[in-house]
Amino acid sequence: MIFTSELFVQTLIAGVMIGVLYALMALGITFIYSIVKMINWAMGEFYMIGSYLQFILVVHLLGPEFWWVAVPLSALGVFLIGILLEPVLIKPMFVKALERRDDYATVVTIALLLLLRNLATALSGPYQRTPGSVLPTITIGPLPQDGARVAAFVLALVAIALFQFLIKRTWLGLALRAASQSRIGVQTSGVDVLRLDQLAFGIGVALAGLAGALLAPVFLVFPTDGVVTTVKGFEIIVIGGLGSIPGALVGGLMLGIVESLGAAFISSPYQNAYGFALVLLVLLLRPTGLFGERTRQA
């Protein structure tokens, strides 16, 4: 491989662009964890639902030129599915004080993962589909970039900015930030924490659904299309630290860049392995992740 600065810059840009979308996924995982205190292992399936919604809306309902209308609708659809599922699957674990809640959460969300994945296969078959993209290749500087990727990157940035606004500037955000620090404390302040759980779950899976909708034209749409992105999401969580929003963003960018550079300058078949190398490195140097804090158990 010949190293040129032009190629380097292009690879870097590609890495940053995909990194932001990975970050979206990681943000969803970390956000649900910080409020509900459980890992949602079915995140990839919500990504998958988002990609299918985008496909259906673009191909069958709205038409390809209205892909930008379809994106928020798909995310909204995933949000509503999350809001409907949470009271049935997650809430019962919190109404009564359960022992080993983490184990239950793991079993419940893995069961949900299997159900959704097989449901998608049953409904749509194992075929790989694509909603296509009407966006032309965009030239950034001297370098061409895939239009759908650029659009996904820009909209992901917008979504992250909106999310930050919600968390930092609104009353709901205040309650969410408080709940992430003490679930009991926030309840004795008069906040209905179970209601917050439902909203947090909905918002968290909507972030995954949004990533799915944005990446539908970039990657393909099929029943297990969320697997790779979910694995990356969890890699980012390890890199950035569980429960940290800046960690999810920085980790996402780092993972995207490392993968992209590795694929371009070392060997592209091993693209997915570079992320794991990064994970191992972080675990060696900072086991809590870059922004993670050691928790004290009272």
Partner 1 sequence: MARLLETRGLTKRFGGLVANEEVSILLERGEIRGLIGPNGAGKTTFVNLVTGIHAPSAGDIRLDGESVLGLAPFEIARKGLLRTFQVCRLFGNLSVFENLLLPYMARGAKGSALDEGIGRARELLELTTLTRLAKLPAKGLSGGQRALLQVCCGFMIPELKCYVLDEPFAGINPVIKDSIIDLILHENRARGVSYLIVSHEMAVMRRLCSKITVMIEGRVVAEGPLEEIARRDDVITAYLGKALT
Site for partner 1, rule CB under 8 A: 171, 174-175, 177-178, 181-182, 184-194, 298
Contact 208, 44 (CB under 8 A): yes
Instruction: Considering the complex, state which of residue 186 and residue 203 has its C-beta at the smaller distance from partner 1.
Output: 186
Phi, psi torsion values for 144, nearest 5 degrees: -80, 140
Contacting residues for 168 by C-beta, under 8 A, at least 6 apart: none
Instruction: Considering the complex, state which of residue 150 and residue 194 has its C-beta at the smaller distance from partner 1.
Output: 194
Closest approach of Cβ 69 to partner 1, in Å?
31
CA distance to 48, 76, 226, 253, per residue, from 116 (Å):
9, 18, 11, 29
Instruction: Considering the complex, state which of residue 185 and residue 287 has its C-beta at the smaller distance from partner 1.
Output: 185
Task: Tell me the β-bridge partners of 144.
Answer: 139
Closest approach of Cβ 182 to partner 1, in Å?
5
Instruction: Considering the complex, state which of residue 76 and residue 178 has its C-beta at the smaller distance from partner 1.
Output: 178
Joined tokens for residue 5:
């600065």
Joined tokens for residue 241:
């630290």
> What is d(CA 141, CA 5) in angstroms, rounded to the nearest whole number?
13
Contact 194, 94 (CB under 8 A): yes
Closest approach of Cβ 26 to partner 1, in Å?
20
- Count of other CB atoms within 10 angstroms of residue 97: 7
Instruction: Considering the complex, state which of residue 1 and residue 298 has its C-beta at the smaller distance from partner 1.
Output: 298
Instruction: Considering the complex, state which of residue 63 and residue 92 has its C-beta at the smaller distance from partner 1.
Output: 92
- 251's enclosing H/E stretch is helix 245-265
Closest approach of Cβ 183 to partner 1, in Å?
10
Task: Tell me the β-bridge partners of 54.
Answer: none
Closest approach of Cβ 213 to partner 1, in Å?
32
Instruction: Considering the complex, state which of residue 65 and residue 99 has its C-beta at the smaller distance from partner 1.
Output: 99
Closest approach of Cβ 103 to partner 1, in Å?
21
Would you list the DSSP string of 26-94? HHHHHHHHHHH-S--TTHHHHHHHHHHHHHHIIIIII-GGGHHHHHHHHHHHHHHHHHHHHHHHTTHHH
Closest approach of Cβ 178 to partner 1, in Å?
5
